[in-house]
Structure 1
Amino acid sequence: MAQSTHREPTVTLRDHTDYTGWITQLQARCVFDNIWDKINPKTTVPLLPIPQPVRAPIVTDYTPAASIEVPTRPTELSAGGQKAFKEDLEYYKVLLEQYKNDRHDYEKEQSSLQSIVAFIQSSVSQHLLRTCCLPDKPLRQWITDLQSTAGVDERIEQERARDRYLSALKPMRSALQWDIWLAEYDQAATEAEIYQVAELSQLNVITKDFLAAVNKVAPI
């Protein structure tokens, strides 16, 4: 029997209370598509440029044989013309393969960007879309303006995440609370890790704190 999968509901960005959850889900999508560094306001990595098509060598650009006024095929070129045409044709083939690869990467990136645009348009309130997501502005500017308008100070969020993590480490009163306690600890630890809380920087410290919190009710 097929197993059902549970997906967290999409967070809609309306004000600063939604921002952390919203930017986290946006970043996750961008990282999956390998474009976060292209739209992250903290980076300056440019988008891929539009690949420029390459043109095949044109026979009429080469020296014709003595009896030919306007060559229409390579065999109507002089010996020197045929040699130069052949060399340019081989180089053209190399450039064409490179163009195809560049075009594939460019179209893949554009498709990912369009997907992110659609996600933003479907997960941001109309008011914020009208004020922060102007059609003539790049995605990086959209995120910058959304962060400026509805974002939260990272230092404050880090402090809040730290407080939640330390609170989650308080020992449970009964082993019957294990599932609830563990779920809150897991969420708090994940959030603290996202905001680079110092207590989450070393594995041995995390392990020590966790064992101390559960030792009384689950010593094994």
Structure 2
Amino acid sequence: MSAAPLWTWLAAGATLVIVLLYEALQWLPGRNMPDTLSRAAHARLRAAWLNALAEQPGSEILAVQTLRNSLMSSTLTASTAAIGLMGTVTLIGAPLLNHEPSEPFAFTPRLMLELALMATLFAALACSTMAVRYYNHASFIGALPVGSNERAQWQATGVTYLRRAGVLYSWGLRGLLMVAPLVAGVAHPLAGPIAALALVAVLVGFDRFSA
């Protein structure tokens, strides 16, 4: 079995590096200038929303309904990731499981992208599932009567859970978007970097925040 050409390795590597480098570069402004990133601004918005409801008696039903909508969105993302993961494992895992020990095993650029695809879908599933968990807990806190000792005791925890749920939901959704360049790279090595650049261009617009 002939080795994969060098250009296919470079194309597959570029597909991964472009997206990972973009996410790494987002970490620095997120630490130093959080006001410029949408994810940080939205985290503050969710915290301010729950704190504002804690000062409005009778807002418990509104809090539960809004959090339920967010919970359902995370559930939909988790279900999509789970279906995609099962399909990917079925298509990719079967050849690996049926591989004969006597036959030489070749780690190819395509296989690398396929494994990255499965890992990305699993990460999206895990993040979305944990977002469901935190939204569920925040719903119980938001349903506590405003002005009660229990609400005051758990309010800070509810804000923390709501922040975590939003961040995890964001990562789950981003994981589904990151599937696109991986699938393109599996279809054709040169399509991967092009799709990765297109994805980064889209994410730049989504990640920038201006009041």
Asked if Structure 1 and Structure 2 have the same fold, meaning a TM-score greater than 0.5 normalized by the shorter chain, the answer is no
Where relative contact order (Cα < 8 A, 6+ residues apart) is larger, the structure is: 2
Structure having the higher helix fraction is 2
Q: Which has the larger radius of gyration?
A: 1
TM-score (norm 2): 0.32
TM-score (norm 1): 0.31
